[in-house]
Structure formats: C-alpha cells, structure tokens
C-alpha cells in the first residue's frame, strides 16, 4: 500500500472510531441529564455504554463507510414516528434497569389474557387492508424472520399468540405494513406509523411482565425500524432490545419461542457489527449468547450437541460475531491503545482458535446445510441450497473467513489452500446470493455482499453485484442501495443503470 493510501486508511478508521465515540457520548449526556434511564443491569452484567478516549494510529481496513450516501425515506423523517421511536427506546431501557419479575408469564395468559381478546382482534382486523397486512406478514415477512427456524416461530407461533395479545398483533400488522410501503415506494401515507404507535401504547403497561409475547413484540418493532434505519443509527435501534435480553437473561439456548426470537435479534446485532467495519463488536457480547457460566471452549459442543441444522446455522452467526469481537478488540488495542489484553500473542492465539472453529463448522455441517449442487461458473460459482438456513449460514462462514484473513497476524505459516484466499470466499458469497433467491437470506446478505464486493476487480462483476443489490431492495423492501455507493467509492467509479460508467465522485 502506498504511503498516501495508508494515511487515508488510518484517517478513515480514526473517523469511524470517533463516530462511535461521539454516539456513546451522546448517550452518556442523555443519561446524565435524566432524559434517558441509565441502562444499568444486574451486578454481574457487562452490558454498558462506555466512552473511551481516541488516540493512537495504524491499521489498514478493507474499506470505509460513507454515511452521507444514505437517503432516508419520508417515513424516517415523520415527527410522529420519531417521537414514538424514542418513547419505545426509553421504555426498553427503563424496563431493563427495573427489577425483573420472578417468573415468566404464561404464553396465553398474563395481563392481556381475557375473554374479550378475540373480539378485540376482530376489531383490529375490521378493515380489509389490515387483513391484507396479516396475509402479507404470513407470506412475505415471516419467512425471512424464520429463515433459521424450521418450527416457524414468527410465521405460526406468534400469529397464534397474537389472538390473545393486541400489542403483538399490532406489531405484526405494523411490520407488514412497513414492508408493503417500502416495496411500493410510498412517500405520503403510512398506515405503519399508526399501527406502530398503537403497538407501543398497548405494550407500555406490559413491559414489566417477563412474557415471551412482550419480548417478541419488541423484536418485531425493532425489525420494523431496521427496514429504513440509517447506517449510523443501526446500533441505536438495537440497544433497547440488547438491554432487555441482557436484563431478562434470555440467550440462544432457552425455551423454544424465546430462543427463536433471540436468534432473530442476534442476526440484526451481527449486521450492526459488520456495518461498523471492524470498529465495534455486537451490542450483546457473544458470551451472553450462551447459557450463563459457559466457557468459550464449550460453545462448539453446545451447538453441535443439539444435533439441529437450525442451531448449526446459528453457530455460524455466533462464530461470525466472535470474529467481529476479535477484530474490534484488536482495532481498539492498536488504534486507541485500549488495554484489553489483545496483545500480539493473545491475538494470534484467538485468531488460530477461531480459524479452526470455522473450519470445523464447515466439516461438521449436517446434510441439510450442504449444497445440493455446485457449478464452477463465471464470474461467480452457482451454489444451490435447499434449506433456508443453509444459505445465510454458509455466507456468514465465508464472511467470517474474509474478516479473519484480512486481519491475519504476521508472520503466519499456515497451509490454507483455497480457503486462504479472500477472493475465493468473496466469489462464493456473491454466487450464493445469485443462486438462491430466498427473500430472508437476501436481506441478510447485504453486509456480506459489501464485504465481498470490495475485493472484486472486474467491471462485469461490479455490474452484476450492483444489479443484485438493487433487486434485493425492490424485492424485499429493505433499504440496501446505500451499499452500492460505498462499493463504488471502493471501486473508484460509478456503475449506472444503463451500464455506462463515470467517476465515483461525480455529482450525477
């Protein structure tokens, strides 16, 4: 790397670290002013928002994030939505810091359970439009929430629970309405705002009850916010749910429904870590994803002993989060001078352990997570999977490998073969998305595609990737096209819809 490029990379990383520090300082100011409840948790919890001084230099990240490229839709600017969003955020923090109840409410009981609820549900669904939202949720939204869950917690169990929970029902309708609005490009009429506000209103008196419907409702509302959240605000939308999971002790190995809801949140948390480009780990640290008292070296056995394709897919999410944690720790150690123990030898040991864990994940994949067919095509291989969870979990495996290879300790004498090539992993990430059109896996592919895309050098590959990202937003309603601009900045030119090219810094 040329000296000027190295200086630019260092400046980019320092800017990103400062961005995150600025966010943490804003939170601290709000807490100290009493405008947000302090997110304190039980004494043994390590969930906190700590600001660190920024100093130090060095490091060469794969790329950088230009948040100015993000274009928000009108929904995200609506004062009613912004006020309700802040209300929900404060409620979640307040609930997380308050004394948790001694036992969970029953799935169909709790505060909301009474004979009037079926009548209330009929009132909620009194308009044909809301029935359409419910149908859209079952057919279009729930499948991507359930992509790592063969039991279909979001598609079957939550709609059944919603018969006795108006707050949950309104959350289901709200996220479905938001997805339909995004797909049709609505700019002036948002049913989703009213549904979102009503869900929060009904949720407020229930947040002190440790009930699976309450947690699921909060995660659905968080998912709604993520659809059009700006990149710099991604983690801010997740913080309330992270505090709630931590305070209530919900992890990835609990009972059936809370476990499914947790892993849906965990995938979003991982996306936030990937967006940070090596400067942040997940909000809920990976150790909190495991049962209390579980050591890191026990995690593999814990996942493998479930003998479940779904949990093996979740294991890929966990391993990728561990890689983000390692890269973030190393960045903070080298860039900020943070004394976190990520010294040269400690970093090398953690790196080798994670690399071996990733290779073991590949070796021990159950049949359901193996490709049905692989064709070595150009420019990207065609890799077909028949199990939903196989698509994204294999992509995350390749993503984690790229992140590790990019941060490999030097010198390192390992015979890695094709798995030691970042470009090999990058092309497989792209090939998986192009071959498997499942909507949920397309949503979750955006950050892996961005990480992979920066490694591509041929213009035909760039054009195909840009077309894929545009199609994902059109098909799913999730905001994805902001990543195109980031890729174009990395490539040095702009890929236009008509196939022509121009300088990436041009104004058109």
* Rounded Cα distance, 364 and 315, in Å: 11
Q: Determine the distance from the C-alpha atom of residue 227 to the mean position of all C-alpha atoms in its chain, rounded to a whole number.
A: 11
Cα torsion for 188, 191, 195, 198, to the nearest 10°?
A: 60
CA distance 295 to 463: 45
Strand partners, 375: 382
Alpha-carbon span 285 to 283, nearest angstrom: 6
The reported pLDDT for the residue numbered 72 is 56
* CA–CA distance, 274 with 277 (Å, rounded to integer): 6
Rounded CA separation 40/24 (Å): 15
- pLDDT score for 74: 72
65-75, pLDDT tens digit by residue? 443 444 456 77
Q: For residue 27, is pLDDT > 50?
A: no
Say if residues 495 and 463 touch (Cβ distance below 8 Å). yes
Give CA separation, 348 vs 7, 174, 315, 327, in Å. Answer: 25, 46, 22, 11
Residue spans per domain, the chain = 3-370
Q: What is the model's pLDDT at position 412?
A: 78
**Per-residue pLDDT tens over the stretch 324-353:** 999 999 999 999 999 999 999 999 999 999
122-144 pLDDT, tens digit per residue, is 676 777 888 899 999 999 999 98
Alpha-carbon span 470 to 72, nearest angstrom: 16
Confidence at residue 422, expressed as pLDDT on a 0 to 100 scale: 97
Q: Longest C-alpha distance within the chain, in Å? A: 72
Q: Who wins on pLDDT, 148 or 32? A: 148
What pLDDT was estimated at residue 354? 97
Task: Please give the helix or strand (H or E) that residue 427 lies within, else none.
Answer: helix 422-435
Beta bridge partners of 383: 374
- Check pLDDT > 80 for residue 279: yes
Adjacent-strand bridge partners of 502: 494
Rg (CA), the chain: 22
pLDDT given for residue 184 in this prediction? 84
Please tell me the predicted confidence (pLDDT) of residue 498: 59
Q: Which residues, other chains included, contact 427 with Cβ-Cβ below 8 Å and sequence gap of 6+?
A: 379, 380, 381, 452, 456
Residue-wise pLDDT for 206-243, tens only, equals: 887 777 789 999 999 999 998 877 777 778 889 999 99
Phi-psi region of 499 (alpha: psi -120 to 50; beta: other; left: phi over 0): left
- Name the average pLDDT for the chain: 81
């Amino acid at each position: 790397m040329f000296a000027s490029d190295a200086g630019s990379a260092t400046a980019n990383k320092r800017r990103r670290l400062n961005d995150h520090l600025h966010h943490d300082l804003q939170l601290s100011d709000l807490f100290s002013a009493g405008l947000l409840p302090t997110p304190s948790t039980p004494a043994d919890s390590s969930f906190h928002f700590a600001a660190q001084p920024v100093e130090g230099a060095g490091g060469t990240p794969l790329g950088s994030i230009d948040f100015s490229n993000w274009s928000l839709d009108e929904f995200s600017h609506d004062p009613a939505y912004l006020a309700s969003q802040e209300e929900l955020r404060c409620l979640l923090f307040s609930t997380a810091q308050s004394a948790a109840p001694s036992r969970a409410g029953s799935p169909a009981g709790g505060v909301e359970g009474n004979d009037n609820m079926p009548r209330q549900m009929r009132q909620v669904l009194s308009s044909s439009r809301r029935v359409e939202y419910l149908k859209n949720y079952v057919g279009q939204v729930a499948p991507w929430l359930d992509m790592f869950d063969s039991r279909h917690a979001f598609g079957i169990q939550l709609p059944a629970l919603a018969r006795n929970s108006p707050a949950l029902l309104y959350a289901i309708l709200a996220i479905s309405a938001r997805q339909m609005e995004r797909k049709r490009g609505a700019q002036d009429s948002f049913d989703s705002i009213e549904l979102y506000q009503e869900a929060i209103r009904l949720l407020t008196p229930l947040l002190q009850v440790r009930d699976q419907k309450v947690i699921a409702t909060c995660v659905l509302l968080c998912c709604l916010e993520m659809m059009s959240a700006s990149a710099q605000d991604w983690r801010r939308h997740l913080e309330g749910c992270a505090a709630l999971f931590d305070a209530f002790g919900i992890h990835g190995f609990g009972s059936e429904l809370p476990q499914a809801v947790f892993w849906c949140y965990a995938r979003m948390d991982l996306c936030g870590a990937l967006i940070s480009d090596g400067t942040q780990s997940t909000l809920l640290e990976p150790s909190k994803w495991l049962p209390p008292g579980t050591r890191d070296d026990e995690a593999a056995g814990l996942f493998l002993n479930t003998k479940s394709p779904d949990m093996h897919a979740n294991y890929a999410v966990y391993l990728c989060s561990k890689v983000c944690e390692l890269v973030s720790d190393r960045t903070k150690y080298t860039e900020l001078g943070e004394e976190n123990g990520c010294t040269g030898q400690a970093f090398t040991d953690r790196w080798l352990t994670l690399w071996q864990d990733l290779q073991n994940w590949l070796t021990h994949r159950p049949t359901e997570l193996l490709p049905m067919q692989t064709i070595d095509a150009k420019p990207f291989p065609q890799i077909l999977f028949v199990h939903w969870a196989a698509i994204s979990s294999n992509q995350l495996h390749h993503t984690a490998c790229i992140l590790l290879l990019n941060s490999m300790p030097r010198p390192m004498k390992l015979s890695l073969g094709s798995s030691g090539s970042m470009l090999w992993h990058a092309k497989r990430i792209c090939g998986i998305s192009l071959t498997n059109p499942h909507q949920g896996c397309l949503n979750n592919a955006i950050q892996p595609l961005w990480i992979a895309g920066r490694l591509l050098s041929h213009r035909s590959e760039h054009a195909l990737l840009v077309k894929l990202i545009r199609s994902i937003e059109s098909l799913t309603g999730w905001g994805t096209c902001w990543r195109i601009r980031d890729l174009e900045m990395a490539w040095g030119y702009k890929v236009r819809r008509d196939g022509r090219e121009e300088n990436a810094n041009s104004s058109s």
